Amino acid sequence: MEQPIQTSTVLKDVRYEIRGQLANHALELEKRGYEIISLNIGNPGLFGFRTPETMRLAMIENLAQAEPYCHQKGIFPAREAVVMQQQDRGVHGVTADEVFIGNGVSELIDLSLRALLNPGDEVLVPSPDYPLWSAAVALNGGVVRHYACRPENDFMPDIDDMERLVSERTRAVVVINPNNPSGAVYSRETLDAIVALAERHGLVVLADEIYDQMLYDGAEFIPMATLVHNSVCLSYSGLSKIYRACGYRVGWCVFSGDLERASDYLHGMELLAALRLCSNVPSQWAVQTALGGFQSIVELVSPGGRLYQSRQAIIDCVAASDYLSLQKPMGAMYAFIRLDPRFAGKLDDQAFALELLEKQHVLVAPGTSFNTPYADHFRVTTLPDPETINTVFERINACLAPHA
């Protein structure tokens, strides 16, 4: 018998458990006839959220112009709309030449790390993180150095820990704000400290800001690009979350800061963008309409709005439980929930998630999926309606009660 085909060794450091074994097991259970409540992915369209109609119409009206390849950086109206948004936020010196449109932020993360890293180069990544960041660093030959964002510190970055991790091989620092999975929204003081560290060590700042307008209870989002002047900043956002258009696969990456220093980096990024020809053209025509139109997300995250009420339902359910605790999420569409210390040694996050799925038919993402050193958290999305959320937590409590 011939030897089985071996996968690339770089995959040994790649994890994406959000769509991993638990999610596959949930699909198997659904095939057997079970109804699974899936809370593992922030996918608004699955929970009844619609993309604004004006964006759909913009795509339809421009379909005739969407058949050829476009420029590798994206169509000009989309890139110019991103520039206008940056200017409105106080980011200066950016033109359409510094904007790249991609097939979601995910593709742009991969391209920007591929253009930056040599084998063995190090990148500071938060823990917990969105695991694509750690995976993309590894896939592009880099080494991840996770800096602590501890629950007891409201999931804020530990600047001293970041400083200790910097070495001569460190090339960049990743900032996810508002944060996925914790929902933390970083203060100006914290962001200023990260920028000072990056500029002191000549690091590129990679700012994942896909949830930039999804804020609660007066939380303030501060664009990283408004603070970075003497280093290079890449800001990532897109249509997936704020505009509920995950399937459109449209993201953008904006270079700002010391653009003279970034000249070669920009050329490398453009080369990689050209190799994939261009990103999906029809949905790029929705960008200008999205960024220039009415922002319905404001109503959704305000008191009485669907996202606000669902988030509040989770906060209330956790407060009423004897088995759970939560740092209140101030942004994004997730809650990162902690199991009570009494379960330590009896039920870690992976075992809990598997039992919850098999016995209660609820799918959540274990906390260790987000590269945490602790195994007592799990993430749920705040997208379901409050009634569904109440049902979910009844099942969670029923799952935990026998172990208490």
Domains and their CATH numbers in the chain: 9-50+299-403 (3.90.1150.10), 53-292 (3.40.640.10)
DSSP notation for 30-95: HHTTPPPEE-SS--GGGGT----HHHHHHHHHTGGGSSS---TT--HHHHHHHHHHHHHTT--S--
**Nearest-5° Cα angle at 14, 9 to 20:** 125
Q: How many CB atoms lie within 10 A of CB 267?
A: 10
In this predicted structure, what is the pLDDT of residue 1? 65
In this predicted structure, what is the pLDDT of residue 18? 67
In this predicted structure, what is the pLDDT of residue 65? 93
What DSSP character marks residue 4? P
382: left (phi over 0), alpha (psi -120 to 50) or beta: alpha
For residue 33, count CB atoms less than 10 angstroms from its CB and return exposed for 0-12, middle for 13-18, buried for 19 or more.
exposed
* 53: Cβ contacts below 8 Å, ≥ 6 apart: none
377-381 vs 334-339, strand pairing mode? antiparallel
Enumerate the β-bridge partners of residue 326: 337
Q: Give me the tens of pLDDT residue by residue for the chain, a chain 404 residues long.
A: 678 888 788 777 776 676 778 889 999 999 999 999 999 989 999 999 999 999 999 999 999 999 999 999 999 999 999 999 999 999 989 999 999 999 999 999 999 999 999 999 999 999 999 999 999 999 999 999 999 999 999 999 999 999 999 999 999 999 999 999 999 999 999 999 999 999 999 999 999 999 999 999 999 999 999 999 999 999 999 999 999 999 999 999 999 999 999 999 999 999 999 999 999 999 999 999 999 877 789 999 999 999 999 999 999 999 999 999 999 999 999 999 999 999 998 999 999 999 999 999 999 999 999 999 999 999 999 999 999 999 999 999 999 999 98
Residue 178 half-sphere exposure, CB side, CA atoms within 13 Å?
A: 24
Q: Are 245 and 239 in contact (CB under 8 A)?
A: yes
Residue with tokens 């669907």: 306
In this predicted structure, what is the pLDDT of residue 2? 77
User: What does the block give as tokens for 226?
Assistant: 């408004």
Report the candidate in 384, 386, 347, 390 with the shortest Cα–Cα distance to residue 367.
Answer: 347
Type of residue found at 284 = Q
pLDDT tens digits, 68-92: 999 999 999 999 999 999 999 999 8
DSSP notation for 291-352: HHS--THHHHTSTTSHHHHHHHHHHHHHHH-SSEEEPPP-BTTEEEEEEPGGGTTT--HHHH
DSSP notation for 189-226: HHHHHHHHHHHHHTPEEEEE-TTTT-B-TT-----GGG
Report the candidate in 382, 370, 396, 390 with the shortest Cα–Cα distance to residue 334.
Answer: 382
pLDDT tens digits, 243-298: 999 999 999 999 999 999 999 999 999 999 999 999 999 999 999 999 987 778 99
In this predicted structure, what is the pLDDT of residue 8? 80
In this predicted structure, what is the pLDDT of residue 283? 96
DSSP H stretches of helix in 102-181: 104-116, 131-139, 159-165
Backbone angles phi, psi at 204, to 5 degrees: -75, 135
Beta strands across the sheet bearing 122-127:
99-102, 251-257, 232-238, 204-208, 170-176, 122-127, 143-148
Q: How many CB atoms lie within 10 A of CB 236?
A: 24
For residues 136 and 120, give the distance between their C-alpha atoms in angstroms, rounded to a whole number.
Answer: 13
For residues 133 and 125, give the distance between their C-alpha atoms in angstroms, rounded to a whole number.
Answer: 7
CA 364, 147, 160, 227 dihedral sign is negative
Furthest CA-CA distance within the chain: 64
User: What does the block give as tokens for 245?
Assistant: 């258009």
In this predicted structure, what is the pLDDT of residue 4? 86
